[in-house]
Structure 1
C-alpha cells in the first residue's frame, strides 16, 4: 500500500503532480496533513509520520520514505511505464539523476541563501551562487525543450517546482521561459495548483 502525506502549497505538491503524471492516482492514497509554515501559520500535525513534521512523506507497505528526490525516484521506478525516469544503466538515466541531485544539493541551499541575503564567498564556493546556478539551467535549455532527452521527465518536474510557486525568479531567457510555460500548462500541474488553492481557502 502506498500513502503520501501532503500539505497544500508545499514541497509535497510536486509529488502530488508526479503521482498524476505517473497515472498512479488510483494507487497512491493522498492524506492531507498540517505543517508549521515559515510565516508562522499552520501547526505540527500528530497525524503526520514525518519525524520532523515536514512533507512529503511516503509510506510503502509500512516503510516510511522521506525526502522529495528519494520519493520521486522511488515512485518513478514503481510506475516505469509512464517513462518519466529513463531506463537504468543508460546515459539518459545518469543525466536525469544528475538534475535531481543538482536540485537537492545546489538549488535548495542556494535559493535559501538568496532569500536570507547570504553573500559569502565560502558558501558560493561550496554550493554556487544564484547567478551561477541559473547559468547552468539556461545553458541546458538553450535550444532544447527538456532537460533530458526529447521529452518531459521527472527532472523537469522537480527542477521546475521552485518556479511553479515563484515564477518571478525565472531567468530572463527565452528557452527557460518557454520550458516553464510548457510545464505549468500540463494538466497534472494545473490540477495540483487548483486543488491546493482550494484547500488553502478552506483553511
Structure 2
C-alpha cells in the first residue's frame, strides 16, 4: 500500500498533517511538498502537484485519488479504523461524525468566507444559513460535552475547529465554543504540525 499526501505548509493541508500525527501515521505516508498560489500573491501552481486545480490537500492511495479535506479525513479514518480517530461503519456515532465532516464543507466554510468578505444576499442566507445559525449549531453540538462526538477528540473536531485556529477573531464569543477551540489547538499534534511546516518552509 502506497499513500502520498501532496502538502503545502500553512495551508488547508496542514489539517491532514495534524491528522497523521494524531493517528500516528506520519511514517506510513509520503509527504510531498508542493507550492500553491497564496492570497498575498506569493507562491504559484506546482507542476508536480496532480490536483486538477493545483490545490492541496490531495491524497493518493495506490491508484485512488482523493481530494477535499473532509473526504481525505474520512478516507483515512475508514482506512485505519483501529486508530480510533473517527467513527467506523457500524459505530453508533457514524452518522453524527459524517454530518459534522460534511457540515463543515457544505455550510461552515462558505458562511465564514462570506462573513470575511462582507458578502450578504438572501440567496446566500437561504442556501448556507448565516454566522449566527452556525454559532448556534456549534454551541448545541458542544453542550455538556468536550468534543463534537462526546468525550473523544476526532477528525470532526480537527476539521470543524480549523478556521477558528487560523482566524481567532472569527471564533464566536460563546464559552463552550471558545473552550473547545482551546482544547483543540493545545493538542500535541497541533504543535508538531506547526514545527513540521516551519521546517518545510525553512528548507524550501
TM-score computed with the length of structure 1 as normaliser:
0.95
Deviation at 1:201, TM superposition (A): 5.3
After superposition, the C-alpha distances for 1:57-90 in whole angstroms (9 at most, x for unaligned) are 0111132211111111111111111211123133
Deviation at 1:121, TM superposition (A): 1.5
After superposition, the C-alpha distances for 1:141-188 in whole angstroms (9 at most, x for unaligned) are 222101013211111011011112112211112211111111111111
Conserved in 2, the CA contact under 8 Å of 1:100 and 1:158? yes
User: What residue in structure 2 maps to residue 52 of structure 1?
Assistant: 53
Distance 1:199 1:160 in 2: 24
After superposition, the C-alpha distances for 1:13-63 in whole angstroms (9 at most, x for unaligned) are 000100111111110111110001122111100011101000000111132
Taking a change above 3 Å as real, the CA distance of residues 190 and 120 of structure 1, as seen in their structure-2 partners, is same
SS of 1:151's equivalent in the other structure is coil
Distance 1:166 1:198 in 2: 22
TM-score computed with the length of structure 2 as normaliser:
0.94
Distance 1:181 1:139 in 2: 17
1:1-203 equivalent positions in 2, closer than 5 A? 1-200=2-201
Deviation at 1:112, TM superposition (A): 1.4
Conserved in 2, the CA contact under 8 Å of 1:92 and 1:149? no
Question: Runs of 5+ in structure 1 lacking a partner?
Answer: none
Distance 1:175 1:111 in 2: 19
Distance 1:134 1:45 in 2: 36
Distance 2:24 2:198 in 1: 22
Question: Runs of 5+ in structure 2 lacking a partner?
Answer: none
Deviates most, 184-193 or 83-92: 83-92
How many residue pairs match? The answer is 203
Conserved in 2, the CA contact under 8 Å of 1:142 and 1:176? no
